[in-house]
Amino acid sequence: MRWIAHKFGGSSVANAARYQTVAKRMLARQDEAQVVVVSAMQGVTDTLIGLTALAAARNPAWPVELAALKQRHLDTAAELLAAEASAFAAVLDGSFADLEHILRSVELLGTVPVEVVELVSGLGEVWSAQMLASHFRSLGEGAVFLDAREVLRVTPTELHVAVDWLPSEKRLAEFQRAHPARRYVVTGFIARRLADERITTLGRNGSDYSASIFGALFEAVEIHIWTDVDGVLSADPRRVPEAIVLDHVTYEEAFELAYFGAKVIHPQTMAPATARNIPVFIRNTFNPEHPGTRIDADGGEEPPIKGITTIGGMALVTIEGAGMIGVHGTAERVFAALRDARISVTMISQGSSEHSICCVIQGGEADRARDVLVEAFSREIQRGQIQRVVSEKGISVLAVVGEGMAGTPGICARLFGALGRSKVNVRAIAQGSSERNISVAIAEGEATRALRAVHAGFYLSAQTVSIGIIGPGTVGQALVQQIAEARGRLKREAHLDLRVRAIATSRKMLLQEQQIDLPHWREQLAERGDVVDLDALARHVHAEHLPHAVIIDCSASSAVADQYPKWLAAGIHVLTPNKQAGGGPLARYRAVQAAAKSGRARWRYEATVGAGLPVIGTLRDLIDTGDRIERIEGIFSGTLAYLFNRFDGEAPFSELVRQAKAAGYTEPDPRDDLSGLDVARKLVILAREMGLDIEVDQVHVESLVPAELREASVEGFLAGLNCLDAPMRARFDEARANHQVLRYCAVLEADGRAEVALKALPAFHPFAHIALTDNIVSFATQRYRNNPLIVRGPGAGPDVTAAGVFADLLRVAAGLGAAL
């Protein structure tokens, strides 16, 4: 017959409904003969062990807990078994009567012998298997209860519980002859010792081992381990929510993942399956349609990295000294001393210079390990040949596992690149010659951040960027919308996960642990927003468990710009269309640049000049490729470009300003545009990009705001603006008579002379033929002297400005490893 072994854990048989689900799963597979291995009902094994401890302590509560445990099984049977319930209850009565006698004996002894613990702790599996077999029979389906203690013989060793195969095979054959069936329900976890026939257990999670053993004994073609997750995951989903289910792994990869804490598999589980080349499937009882993870000899080629995991609570012990170099047997003495002290070594690292050896052990053994090594090398320490023996607690081991690493260049580079970008320091490194596993020792406090960064770096999850947006005005709102529309595509196509986790106005801020529901951020901010605190916002965005942090400043605030150096120094990338940092006080600009150049984070500000146009990027490229800038000219105000494109002498200039304000082309106070100060700041930003240390007050600015209206209210300004109509008409008429046009231009010379003014330009000038709100920049350089390089396009408006900021965000993400 085509036997298939199935194992169901405690969560799969937690109550009557769960038993019914298990039976339903098995009955749907009528084309196979089944070995169904079950654990105790959820929590029962712990309860049984707890009862022995209570009895030994002579705690009067143990009879009450024993009665509750029996009642739980009777209630489950009553719901599950119908006509079979009374027969099961009779069996249960006898078993619990025996258990009560045992516990009373323990109470008299006042101690719990190991033999009693092993006997009692396995009873839950017996009751569970009897109940499931009875349920099959109550449904009219054949099922034989198989007590593993009648068949399975084992010999406990120092490393594990070894199966005695020949005696076990013989007993199983005899059992099958006496009880032929196509479905056996088998107790997990328990067995008998071959030497003395004493009842024993296979250790914690031993039911998985039982499934593998009985799969081998029945010569099964497959073994299915049914759990409460969809399969083996690439990382712990509690720490890496983006962890994926692995489709196909090798036995060896599964061994490594199990050792490093992949709790869905017990390390011993695969041994019998491996020896007989039986594929193991990890499946979800509650999601049976999911194919789960297949574990076999071949594995799958993609991805080359199958899992990334960590072990915490470790310590690093280091012995070092010049006297170790070239001395034979030093490593042997180190590990012999630790072995004799029964201290297990998880990881070993030694440099080729032989100057030091370090090993990772359990944190609780750190002090004892240090003392053991100090004693073992006491003579060398006295002679000065060993300089120090130290132990350091608070260490985690991060392991990268995958058969595909063998012979694949660049795996280590990607691992250490991801750790470096996340500012995680590596204390020790180990890699076996099989190249199946690379392990690094890191600080325990950095383990989650490291895990997520490395996981993302190997494309097992999206490259996650934690984002905070300050200033959700027109530009900020447009940016939020653009991110909301693009994030799904970017995650799908570029493995880039943009998570907006903070949004702040000048008064309130909204912080979310995972990410903000962007379509409803306004309502959430109004309902749940806190008083704005930029330090708290920065800490939240720069969460330790997230590998990358970005703050986007869409405000026009000088106070926010003051925070840039601190954020950059902390490793937070800063992106902004705010001109306060680039065009504000020179001392602040230098502080921001210094923090950015320290290498911890990037400052990007393309949208400060020309909105979404590549003005700063073009200037940077010219300079970086060795060109010499001779002169920059430009129209940097979309508002003023609009006004002078529309100003044809027919409508008064003041009326055009009022129309532009009504249409949303100006700032709320049009004087912010007409003063020319905004254009001057943009010119200062370009000048500083050229290496010129100039301040805004060094730019000669022609303001179009009449002096008598500078202190008026906005309404008073608009009402009194008629005073500008006559002089503006005169300048227009003079320009038209000379076949010229009026344009509000900025000019920057190579020597630092800077001017912002209204100019009359020839009708053939490039600036004379721009669209309504276009910006245009002309770069006259050593290479582009006779025919300047022109950058032209929409240079104002929330959408194009937001797009410029978004482009900066994607450029930063590409530098972090996103596949853009």
> Which residues are part of the catalytic machinery?
682
CA 734 to chain centre: 65
- Distances 345 to 290, 360, 447 between C-alpha atoms, Å: 38, 6, 20
Angstrom distance (rounded) from CA 552 to CA 736: 44
CB 288 within 8 A of CB 26: no
CB 396 within 8 A of CB 443: yes
Evaluate the CA torsion angle 226, 227, 231, 234 in order and state its sign.
negative
For the beta sheet containing 789-794, the strands, ordered from the edge strand earlier in sequence to the opposite edge, are 700-701, 754-762, 740-749, 629-635, 774-781, 789-794
Q: Residue 231, by phi and psi: left (phi above 0), alpha (psi -120 to 50) or beta?
A: left
- Distances 643 to 613, 652, 673, 798 between C-alpha atoms, Å: 20, 11, 11, 18
Per-residue 3-state assignment (H helix, E strand, C coil) for 94-113: HHHHHHHHHHHHHHHHCCCC
CB 202 within 8 A of CB 210: yes
Task: Indicate the residue type of 255.
Answer: F
Angstrom distance (rounded) from CA 749 to CA 690: 11
Task: Indicate the residue type of 258.
Answer: A
CB 322 within 8 A of CB 387: yes
Give the residue from 662, 648, 611, 524 showing the smallest Cα distance to 794. Answer: 611
Pairing mode, strands 603-604 and 573-575: parallel
- DSSP-derived secondary structure letter, 578: -
Angstrom distance (rounded) from CA 164 to CA 154: 5
Extract the tokens encoding 447: 């383990």
Q: Any residues with CB less than 8 A from the CB of 593 and at least 6 apart, and which?
A: 603
List the alpha helices (DSSP H) in 6-43. Answer: 16-27
Angstrom distance (rounded) from CA 156 to CA 602: 58
Which residues on neighbouring strands pair with residue 397, listed in sequence order?
311, 441
Extract the tokens encoding 501: 């986790």
Angstrom distance (rounded) from CA 240 to CA 461: 9
Angstrom distance (rounded) from CA 79 to CA 82: 7
Angstrom distance (rounded) from CA 24 to CA 14: 15
Angstrom distance (rounded) from CA 94 to CA 91: 5
CB 230 within 8 A of CB 170: no
